[in-house]
């Protein structure tokens, strides 16, 4: 399994620091938020393999953060909740709004690592290899794409952008989320995304009657599902 990219939403700096020390030993990349709204913003702007979410946040309840991530994020990201609330009713509330797992405080750091691995592996296994949108078909295992049964000659970055948009469809994906997904914390100084979007359009849309790749002003890009289905 490749190194995980994890968002930790925890308001206690001491706890966040201790967890980060254990998780970074695994070679995992960590991003941090100490407030619920900050964590929600990061989850909606970027793509993470896993989100570790403390329920007891000062500005926005962890349950509300979880619900908004699950309903508004571009792609489905597994959420592991950290909580001192160990009643069945509390767990039922969390699972009911989309939490993928619970870990009650106090816990052994090793158990957190094992649960992170299991959640990420389960999420990858449940992600379908095939994505079908209208006449567009993507095979994520083979990293190939076809439109109207014709193979699309995509660059590596072009494929990654298309796959991300397809995973999120019908929701749009922000420019910042795409840039971070492709280049991580070291984006190019020039507007390379614009060039790659242009190239993707030339391959995905130009040979066909109806375009699929749609620009959402002041946000990002989206695969136009309505157009794709109306062909």
| pLDDT (0 to 100) of residue 140 | 80
pLDDT confidence of residue 231: 47
Question: Which pLDDT value is given to residue 112?
Answer: 92
Given a contact cutoff of 8 angstroms between Cβ atoms, the answer to whether 22 and 8 are in contact is: no
Give CATH 3.40.50.2300 domain extents, the chain: 5-126
- In whole angstroms, give the CA distance from residue 25 to residue 22: 5
Is residue 149 left, alpha or beta, with left meaning phi > 0 and alpha meaning psi from -120 to 50? Answer: left
Length of the chain: 231
To 10 degrees, what angle do helices 88-96 and 62-72 make? Answer: 20
- The answer to whether residues 177 and 74 touch, using CB atoms and an 8 Å cutoff, is yes
Each residue's pLDDT expressed in tens, for the chain with a length of 231 residues: 568 889 999 999 998 999 998 999 999 989 999 999 999 999 988 888 899 999 889 899 899 999 999 888 877 889 999 888 777 777 777 788 888 898 888 888 889 999 998 888 877 655 567 888 889 999 887 889 999 999 999 999 999 999 989 888 887 888 888 888 888 777 887 889 999 999 999 999 999 999 999 999 888 899 987 765 544
Residues of the chain with CATH 1.10.10.10: 130-229
- How high is the pLDDT of residue 212? 94
CATH class of 5-126: alpha beta
The class (CATH top level) of 130-229 is mainly alpha
Strands of 79-83's sheet in order across: 29-33, 5-9, 50-54, 79-83, 101-104
């Amino acid at each position: 399994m490749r190194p995980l990219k994890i968002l930790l939403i925890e308001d206690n700096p001491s706890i966040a620091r201790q967890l980060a020390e254990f998780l970074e030993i695994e070679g995992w990349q960590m991003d941090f938020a100490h407030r619920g709204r900050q964590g929600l913003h990061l989850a909606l702007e970027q793509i993470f393999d896993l989100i570790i979410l403390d329920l007891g946040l000062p500005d926005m309840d962890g349950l509300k953060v979880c619900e908004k991530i699950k309903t508004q994020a571009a792609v489905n990201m597994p959420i592991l909740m950290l909580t001192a609330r160990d009643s069945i009713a509390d767990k039922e509330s969390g699972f009911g709004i989309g939490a993928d797992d619970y870990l009650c405080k106090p816990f052994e750091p090793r158990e957190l690592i094992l649960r992170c691995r299991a959640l990420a592996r389960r999420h990858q296994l449940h992600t379908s290899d095939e994505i079908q949108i209208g006449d567009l078909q993507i095979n994520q295992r083979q990293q190939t794409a076809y439109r109207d049964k014709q193979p699309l000659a995509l660059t590596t970055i072009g494929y990654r952008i298309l796959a991300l948009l397809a995973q999120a469809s019908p929701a749009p994906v922000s420019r910042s989320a795409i840039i971070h997904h492709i280049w991580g914390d070291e984006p190019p100084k020039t507007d390379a995304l614009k060039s790659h979007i242009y190239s993707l359009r030339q391959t995905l849309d130009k040979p066909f009657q109806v375009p699929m790749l749609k620009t959402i002003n002041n946000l990002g890009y989206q695969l136009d599902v309505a157009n794709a289905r109306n062909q």
